[in-house]
Structure 1
Amino acid sequence: MFLRTDHGLELAGGTSALRFGRAPVLSAPARTAEWRGRIESFGWTPDLGAAIGSRDWWRGLATCTALCAAVWALAPSWNRPILSTVPAPLDGSALDEARSLSFGASALGGTSGMRLAATSRVVPLANTPERPIVEATATLGGGIASALERTGVGANEAREAAALVAGRVDPAELTPGTRLDITLGRRDSPSQPRPLEHLAFRARFDLALEIVREGGTLRLDARPIAIDHTPLRIRGRVGASLYRAARAAGAPAKAVESYIRTVSGLVPMGQVGQDDSFDLIVEQARAATGEVQLGQLLYAGLSGRRDVRLVRWQDGSRTEWLDPKGVGERKGTMMWPVAARISSNFGWRVHPVLGFRRLHKGMDFAAAYGSPIRATTDGRVASAGWHGGYGNFVKLDHGGGLATGYGHMSRIVVRAGSRVSQGQVIGYVGSTGLSTGPHLHYELWKNGVPVNPRSVAFATVQQLQGDELVRFRRHVAGLMGVAAR
């Protein structure tokens, strides 16, 4: 069914947009709005890089050509100059004033920042007045006297001040780079050096020195600085990184590195868990003026999967890490007794001289005749001399049930009962005893049983006794009484 409307016939009862009849006629306002929309949507400058060859592209090319032609038609002739106004050149005082007020490179004659020339009202002074007192700072380098002379103090007075300081502190103890606060007084003429009125500096962490002038003479005042030597104790949880956790807790970098080296001798770092706790104590000196100096690691503790408690003990030139009971253990690998290749390892083999299969109780080193043989670690010479098939033989006792033997020597240079240190020469390679050529036969015993030298990590045990043990326990009690930070 179709309905008649003003625009023709329209399908009734549906949603179809089909219409029959003539096209609708728009009113004047509608036509104006339609043309305005077309003009606004019309692209005057289409992109010549897109849709090449389309109708919009050709229209844009025509617009560009028309604009270029308009510029060409309106441009002046190519050889006709464009006139402009040129300022008159400056000379004389006008040029000087312009240079002083303008910005420019000094290399091109610029005088930026310079003042204008003085006028006739300015009267020059015969003598420039000096400051009555000059305050200066100097850095200690070659000595007190040279630092004062560089500041302007006379040589005689500088040496006098240096002598006063040397009477209180050894000049060798003064740290280069120390800051000197110097006050110079008035002088009679510019040709004379200024007198020293005051000198102050920190000679040591616990001592400050001051030189003042009283009645024409210099006097030295020493001001001791109170120092608190209570150690710094830091505890914390290991977490993801032991190093970062200790540094975040306030431990100095060198102390943390020493802590890790000390603890890793007993517990590999790979076995330290995140829930383990670290405990370290560091030397600390806190001055009354607020400065703090941190020193060496004194205590290293670790609790968790494995407990470690080590105390640093120094007696004279000897420094050891001991447990709180005074028992220490130094971990390390024994050095090779001779610089040579291994010709025969520990185990069963056919004896090169006897010709039958037997256990080779050590290692053979194919070294040249006369090569030096060294002790693999510290010990005592248990025996030194001829020992059957071993020829010239040396046995060293290292304590803790460990001993080493060195056979087939050409010459022995140690005596039974003497002490030897690691790396000390005890003899020379030879071919004595049951031997087919110059070499060193090296053995290692643990509780009297031969073991493979490759499989043993050597340990030296130290036990404190007597008065030293009493002092050590007193030292440990003082450390354990320090409160954690």
Structure 2
Amino acid sequence: MSFRCWWPRGVLVRAAVALAVATLLPGGLVVTAAAAGPTGPDLRWSWPLDPRPEVVTAYDAPPGPYAAGHRGVDLAGRAGSPVRAVDDGVVAFAGTVAGVAVVSVDHQGERSTYQPVAATVRTGDPVQRGDVLGSLLIAGGHCFPAVCLHLGRRHGESYADPEDLLGSGSKIRLVPPSGPPPVPPPVDDAPLAGSWTPPVDAPVSSPYGMRVHPITGELKLHDGTDFAAACGTPVRAVADGRVVAVTYDPAYGQRVVMDHGGGVETSYNHLARASVRSGAAVRAGAVVGAVGSTGMSTGCHLHFMVRADGAPVDPVRFLA
């Protein structure tokens, strides 16, 4: 199944050229042209994945060294694909950072970083443009459960946009201020769309989409819809289905996962307790658990998720 990204309207337009120019357009759109260091043909980077990958999340400059932002670009890929050096240099680091496998290469004033990558090089190894640094992993990727390579760039001591040195010619991209969320995969959900009753009678406190995580501070996809319900509120199945898992996850806390057929699954997360067992057949409206604040949670709420063929989609498209 393909996993494509869309570029919404009402957005920031970025273009890389030799001089920095900013023009304000009607409606508040900004056309930005920026260069970060020399961009001559000898200094341009090659793409780290072959064939040339799709950019699924663009660079979003952080306002400060510790502020939220997207310090690189995410490139769509396949697990196990070879990851190649973008230019000649020396491996500055090959190991793990906060549990994520990372490779960094110095290029005389520029540094490229690649994650998540199972390294086949060691710190201090000289590399040439196109040399294999390792293979692309799934775990630790910014696009999980989809697979992508996060390519970062530092120009001196500052973060910079890798796309300014990639490819040939200028780039023009339409991106929202917080970066584009993955597009829901194509799935035949016509019989289900708009037919489900919400799992709790409570207002939405955080919708599906890109956001800064309230605990980690990282800009990432919020892969479900949060309902601001009090702890202990009954959580009900949104449709007929079968319970496929009742588990505890460090991030999602106590959770119940249901299969509704056609490749569609729902999960009910951060529960105080589950009221069903794995393998049980459940009718729409049956209580499956109670709202809680388990796992990585800042307070009582229900995090409701829908997956179509293994990929997260916006639950609102299914709810009545």
Do both proteins adopt the same fold according to a TM-score greater than 0.5, normalized to the shorter chain? no
Structure with the greater alpha carbon radius of gyration = 1
Structure of greater relative contact order (alpha carbons < 8 Å, 6+ residues apart): 2
Q: TM-score range by the shorter chain?
A: 0.3 to 0.5
More helix by share: 1
More strand by share: 2
Give the TM-score normalised by structure 2.
0.39
Give the TM-score normalised by structure 1.
0.26
